Amino acid sequence: MNATLRNVVPEQELLRFYEQMFISREFEERCAEQYAKGNITGFLHLYSGQEAVAVGATAGLHRDDYILSAYREHAQAIVRGADPRRVMAELFGKSTGLCKGKGGSMHLFDPSLNFMGGYAIVGGQFPIAVGLAFASRYRGEDRITACFFGDGAVNQGTFHESLNWAQLWQLPVLFICENNFYGIGTEVHRSSALASIHKRTCGYDIPSEKVDGMDVIAVYRAVKYAAEKVRESGRPYFIEATTYRFRGHSMADPAKYRSAAEHDVWKARDPLPNFARKLLEDGIATRDVLDDIEAKCRQTVDEAVSFAEESPWPEDSAVWEDIYV
C-alpha cells in the first residue's frame, strides 16, 4: 500500500491532498459558523464530505484546463488556487470578494485560475462547458474542460443536449458527476429511471466509469487517466464519483430524509480521517506533520474570516457597474 501510494503520487503531493481536503472542510465549517452569525446570507451549500472529489479531480487536471461547477463550489475554487480570503469575502458580500460581492456563495469565478464559474441553475453549466471546450479547440489550445455537477442535474434537458453535442462535435469535455445520492431531499433512484448514473452515457457513445468519491487517490487516478484520454482523443469522457454530503442540502435543510444509519455508514468513510490514517500507516507523514498542516489550514481560514470581516462593503455605485463592457 505504502509502495502503491508513493508510486502513484509523489510524497509532497500526498501531503498537499491532505492539506487541500483539510482546508476545504475547515472552510466549510467556518462558513456554517459565519452563517449562523448572520455574516453570510442567502443560500449556502456546504461541501463537507465530498472533499476527495474536488481535490483528487483537480490534481488530475492541468492548471490550464477549465473547471466549471454548480453552486456547491467553494472547495473547487479554493483547491484550484482561489485565495480563501477573497472567497470568504465574497460570501460576506464584501467588495474584496472574488466577484466583488456580486456573486456570493453560488457564483465564484476566477478566470486567472481558469475557474470558469459556479452556476446556480441546475444543469446550466453543461452547455457553457461545451462552448468553452469548442473555443479551446478552435483556438488550438491544449486544454480540456472539466464540468462538475450533481446527481440531480442529470435529468435536465441540458445534460442530454450537451452530452450529445460534445460527442457529435468531438470536444474535449470531462464530465464529472458528484453523485452524493441526493438532489435536495430526493434520492437518486427517485429522480432517475436508471440510477446508475455513469451508465446513462450509453445513448451518446461516451465512455464512462464510476469511481469511489471518498477515496482521493482513486479519484485522482481516474481523473488523470480520463483527462489524458480526453486530451489525446479530443472527445468527451464521463466520470461518476460516488460520495456523500455530511450536511443538509443547504443551511436551511436539517436533512431528515436520511437515516442515521445511512449517515453513519458514510461517516465511517469520511475522506479526511481515512486519508490521514493511510498517510500515517504508510509512513508518509507523522502525526506532527499532519498537526502542522491542520494548524496552518485553520490559520488560513481564520485569516480569511478576519479579512472578510474587515473588508468594506461595495460602494452604492457598484450596482450599475459590470453590466456592460
Ligand X SMILES: Cc1ncc(C[n+]2csc(CCOP(=O)(O)OP(=O)(O)O)c2C)c(N)n1
Determine if 223 is a binding residue for a second copy (CB under 8 A): no
Single out the residue of 39, 191, 250, 274 in contact with a second copy (rule: CB under 8 A).
Answer: 191
Single out the residue of 20, 125, 180, 242 in contact with Mg ion (rule: CB under 5 A).
Answer: 180
Single out the residue of 56, 84, 97, 152 in contact with ligand X (rule: CB under 6 A).
Answer: 152
Determine if 69 is a binding residue for a second copy (CB under 8 A): no
Measured between alpha carbons, how far is 296 from 246 in angstroms, rounded to an integer?
24
Give the shortest CB-194-to-another protein separation in angstroms.
Answer: 12
Rounded to 10°, the helix 287-310/11-36 angle is 40
User: Please, are residues 105 and 74 in contact by the beta-carbon 8 Å criterion?
Assistant: yes
Determine if 204 is a binding residue for a second copy (CB under 8 A): yes
In angstroms, the Cα distances linking 36 to 29, 31, 39, 44, 236 are 11, 9, 8, 11, 41
Give the shortest CB-50-to-ligand X separation in angstroms.
Answer: 8
What's phi and psi for 226, nearest 5 deg?
-65, -40
> Measuring CA to CA, which residue among 56, 149, 69 is closest to residue 108?
69
180 binds, among a second copy, another protein, Mg ion, none (CB under 5 to 8 A by kind): Mg ion
199 binds, among another protein, ligand X, a second copy, none (CB under 5 to 8 A by kind): a second copy
Measured between alpha carbons, how far is 258 from 247 in angstroms, rounded to an integer?
11
User: Please, are residues 158 and 127 in contact by the beta-carbon 8 Å criterion?
Assistant: yes
Q: Which stretch binds another protein (CB under 8 A): 16-24, 57-65, 198-206, 317-325?
A: 317-325
Q: Which residues bind a second copy (CB under 8 A)?
A: 155-161, 163-165, 167-168, 190-194, 199-206
Q: Which residues bind Mg ion (CB under 5 A)?
A: 150-151, 180, 182-183
